[in-house]
Amino acid sequence: MTTATASTSSPRVQPTVGGLHHVTAITADAQRNIDFYTGALGLRLVKVTVNYDDPSSYHLYYGDGLGRPGTVMTFFAWPHGRPGRTGVGQVSETALGIPVGGRNYWQQRLAGAGATEIEQSSRFDSPILTFRDPDGLALSLVETPDLADLHRWHHSEVPAEWAIRGFHSVALLENDNADPAAILVDRFGYHQAAIDGARVRYVLGQTGVARTVDVVVTDAQTLPATGAGQVHHVAFRTPDDEQQQHWLELLLKEGRRVSPVMNRDYFHSIYFREPGGVLFEIATEGPGFTLNEPAEALGTHLMLPQGLESQRSAIEASVPAIRFPGPMGP
Ligand code: ZN
């Protein structure tokens, strides 16, 4: 178990994670990505900004009406980026939760909406619909009673009855499930809940929204390639900056390579790789996407971090023009 030691400066608390915060993937086409995630999937574009580490490319955030942690799918838009390849040490599928009984609605909706390889199946006795987005990103919709409370984008074309309600899970492709378990179980507090073939399910608490991680065990040695249609990293949520600092110290103390705290404006982040290679982030729940835009105006303009505001015209000239989805409003 974790051995956080006493600190001279502050009382030690065992830092916690509360499940997934967001998943970040890569698209080669910002406009097609916006059209698919807001149009076909009915998510709200809650923030348009640039990749803070590479301001020449967009960073697009989608989520529920407010982009609350546990509902947020984000994309780095690398125009004309090469397709990536799913390999060992990578997120191999991202699963979103839908109401029980919603699979047929979604199958009909996604057909002809830019999704490919749309197939029904089941896992752990739950009906699921697997498909790929227009970049080839592997997604699934899982019928589950564990749904985020409805905070829908009211301009979504998806009826409230069947709206996507946050993450169900991510799947990690690994050679040995003990590798990610060294973080998920020994540090984050997940427990092994079930096994279905090569898939080992880890759950935080009993059930709940965005609190499941599947590890798919393979003998393959395929190396992952970062690129369009692949997940870049998966972020777990921690309540606040104080707990994040504890995580940073704890992970450094056990010899892991961890980034310093990065200010992403809408949350603060640290990054490290779990032993199997997947890039993990621990992100604070706040301050959230209404930091610099009112709720009704989220995602209607290109927002830049303060340090890049002086370069706005150059940045706007370097990124492709996009049509913001409309009508806007929460
Ligand atoms: Zn992130």
pLDDT at 152: 82
Tell if the pTM clears 0.85, that is, is over it: yes
Q: How far is the CA of 25 from the centre of ligand 1 (A)?
A: 9
Rounded to an integer, what distance in angstroms lies between the CA atom of residue 71 and that of residue 139?
A: 14
Q: How far is the CA of 270 from the centre of ligand 1 (A)?
A: 9
Q: How far is the CA of 269 from the centre of ligand 1 (A)?
A: 7
pLDDT at 206: 85
Q: How far is the CA of 231 from the centre of ligand 1 (A)?
A: 10
Q: How far is the CA of 328 from the centre of ligand 1 (A)?
A: 25
Q: How far is the CA of 233 from the centre of ligand 1 (A)?
A: 6
Q: How confident is the model at residue 217 (pLDDT cuts 50, 70, 90)?
A: very high
For residue 247, is pLDDT > 90? Answer: yes
Q: What is each CA distance from 87 to 80, 218, 276, 280, in whole angstroms?
A: 21, 10, 11, 16
Rounded to an integer, what distance in angstroms lies between the CA atom of residue 140 and that of residue 128?
A: 7
pLDDT at 8: 44
- The percent of residues above 70 in pLDDT, for the chain, comes to 95
Strand-pairing partners, residue 190, are 204
- The percent of residues above 90 in pLDDT, for the chain, comes to 88
Q: In what order do the strands lie in the sheet with 138-143?
A: 116-123, 126-132, 138-143, 90-98, 167-174, 212-217, 199-204, 190-196
Element (DSSP H or E) covering residue 120: strand 116-123
Q: How far is the CA of 220 from the centre of ligand 1 (A)?
A: 27
What one-character DSSP code corresponds to residue 232? E
pLDDT at 150: 85
Q: How confident is the model at residue 6 (pLDDT cuts 50, 70, 90)?
A: very low
Write down the mean pLDDT value for the chain: 93
pLDDT at 80: 81
Q: How far is the CA of 159 from the centre of ligand 1 (A)?
A: 29
Determine the average pLDDT of the residues in 267-296: 97
Q: What is each CA distance from 90 to 19, 51, 142, 225, in whole angstroms?
A: 18, 20, 20, 9
Hey, is 131 helix, strand or coil? strand
Rounded to an integer, what distance in angstroms lies between the CA atom of residue 198 and that of residue 320?
A: 42
Rounded to an integer, what distance in angstroms lies between the CA atom of residue 22 and that of residue 93?
A: 13
Q: How far is the CA of 49 from the centre of ligand 1 (A)?
A: 13
Contact 49, 264 (CB under 8 A): no
Tokens of 268: 């603060």
pLDDT, greater one: 155 or 76: 76
Q: How far is the CA of 167 from the centre of ligand 1 (A)?
A: 15
Q: How far is the CA of 8 from the centre of ligand 1 (A)?
A: 31
Determine the average pLDDT of the residues in 211-228: 97
Q: How far is the CA of 235 from the centre of ligand 1 (A)?
A: 6
Determine the average pLDDT of the residues in 220-236: 97
For residue 257, is pLDDT > 80? Answer: yes
Q: How confident is the model at residue 326 (pLDDT cuts 50, 70, 90)?
A: low
Q: How far is the CA of 118 from the centre of ligand 1 (A)?
A: 27
Q: How far is the CA of 208 from the centre of ligand 1 (A)?
A: 21
Rounded to an integer, what distance in angstroms lies between the CA atom of residue 279 and that of residue 18?
A: 18
Q: Which amino acid is at 150?
A: L
User: Of 156-170, 296-310, 314-328, which gets the smallest average pLDDT?
Assistant: 314-328
Rounded to an integer, what distance in angstroms lies between the CA atom of residue 265 and that of residue 181?
A: 30
Could you tell me which CATH class the domain 16-318 is placed in? Answer: alpha beta
Determine the average pLDDT of the residues in 196-207: 94
